[in-house]
Amino acid sequence: MAKIIYQTTAGEQYEIEVANGKTVMEGAIYNGIPGILAECGGSCACATCHVYVEERFMDKVGELGEYEGEMLEETASPSKDNSRLSCQIRVTDELDGLIVHLPEKQ
């Protein structure tokens, strides 16, 4: 398990434990974290689970996938260098303490 920290634009912070193998998106959905819609259910087809990964974790979240990059071109909030789809980030022990910032809108 890893502690994942979700931070909203309003400054609200949610810290939850997410089981290894689950995604950052699943952790948010299963725990009622506001700001991640996940309309496609995690199939990398909608970009409504867009997050900004804290820079110090970028090397730990894995490479940006081909389809993920395409979806990030269609986000409601601006895509940045640290943008990821939370459905594509699999939780591991190495991600303990991961901070993701939720965009203003999905």
**β-strand 98-101 against 13-18: which pairing, if any?**
unpaired
List, for residues 59-71, the tens digit of each pLDDT value: 999 999 889 999 9
Token pair 């979240």: residue: 61
Q: Which CATH architecture has domain 2-101?
A: Roll (3.10)
pTM for the predicted model, two decimal places:
0.96
| 26 membership: H or E segment, kind and range | helix 24-30
CA distances (Å), origin 87, targets 27, 29, 37, 81, 84:
10, 10, 11, 17, 9
- With contact defined as beta carbons under 8 Å apart, do 98 and 4 qualify? yes
List, for residues 70-96, the tens digit of each pLDDT value: 999 999 999 999 999 999 999 999 999
List, for residues 3-50, the tens digit of each pLDDT value: 999 999 999 999 999 999 999 999 999 999 999 999 999 999 999 999
Domain ranges (residues) in the chain: 2-101
